[in-house]
Amino acid sequence: MPAISDPTSEKTVLVTGATSGIGLETVLALGRLGAFVVVAARDPVRGQSVVDQIERGGGRAELLTIDLASFTSVREAARRFLAAHARLDVLVHNAGVALRRREVTADGHERTWQTNFLSGFLLTRLLRPALAAAPAARVVSVTSEAHRNGRIDWENLELEKGYGGFQAYSNTKLAQVLFTRELARRERRMFVNALHPGAIATGIWRELPPWLRWLPKNFLPSPGWGAAPVIRLSSSPELDGVTARYFRRFREAEPSYAGRNDADATRLWQVAEQATGAAKS
């Protein structure tokens, strides 16, 4: 795979959910490819361990502590990043949760919706100055084929009525696909794409009933297999200029009909602005 950095400029990459699974394999690989890696993680101990691992391999990295279930934490993380970095070349939205039972955050939002979608939206908006300063910034959202099961119900976006864990997860993945579409429309100088990395044995399955947890571990591919298409979208020169696309691993695919609804994409952007306070940012 070609190096992410060119001879004259080092690229800065920020990856959320970088302490395990696909995120961990992604930051380790991008560190080896020459990127300066910002390890965005909720747990500072685990995050620093990943930074140390990258540096032991000859790469350069730093820790950015962030809790995507807290808008205050997202804002503080963005403030710290912007204070230390003039530009951001690649932003990878990888962090995500899947919950069996409905939980509400301190911000008043369903936890899956906030963690998987709203906070990624807010982080992107807050980091826009650094993304705009890069000559060809990339924004990559790790979504899922589960988006095809997602629904945008304007009267029940956060599933106050009829909560189901898989439905909540699917809805956030559809929201990410629509966010990709709208961000690409608004930011013509950024390359914005979403991808399904494949069904992977990662920690997102920890909420499965105990008797089912052995299935992903024994029958799904490893996180390294899932990270490969994320690394490609983040670094490959052959994708320069490619934007507003959805990939199923390495191949471009058409998202669901709901994922191609431009009116919903625009309205969801406005809803997210209000929910996160990003309209005032």
Domain boundaries, the chain: 12-280
How high is the pLDDT of residue 207? Answer: 53
Position with higher pLDDT, 205 vs 178: 178
Task: Tell me which DSSP letter residue 117 carries.
Answer: I
Concerning whether 169 is annotated as a catalytic residue, the answer is: yes
* pLDDT for 180 beyond 80: yes
pLDDT of residue 209: 52
Name the catalytic one among 163, 169, 246, 257: 169
Instruction: Please check whether residue 138 is in contact with residue 190, taking contact to mean a CB–CB distance below 8 angstroms.
Output: yes
**pTM, to two decimals:** 0.90
What is the pLDDT at residue 226?
A: 85
Q: Which CATH number fits domain 12-280: 3.40.30.10, 3.20.20.70, 3.40.50.360, 3.40.50.720?
A: 3.40.50.720
Q: Find, among 151, 126, 106, the residue nearest to 268 by Cα.
A: 151
Distance of CA 101 to the CA centre of its chain: 22
What mean pLDDT comes out for the span 108-135? Answer: 98
Neighbours of 56 (CB within 10 A): 9
Is the pLDDT at 181 greater than 70? The verdict is: yes
Say how far apart CA 112 and CA 109 lie, in whole Å. 8
> Are β-strands 245-248 and 251-253 bridged in parallel, bridged antiparallel, or unpaired?
antiparallel
Helices (H), the chain: 21-32, 44-56, 71-84, 111-113, 119-126, 128-133, 165-186, 214-219, 223-235, 262-276
More confident residue, 281 or 61: 61
Query: According to the model, what pLDDT value does residue 264 have?
Result: 98
pLDDT over 60 at 58, yes or no = yes
Q: What is the mean pLDDT of the chain?
A: 90
Residue 219 has pLDDT above 80, yes or no: no
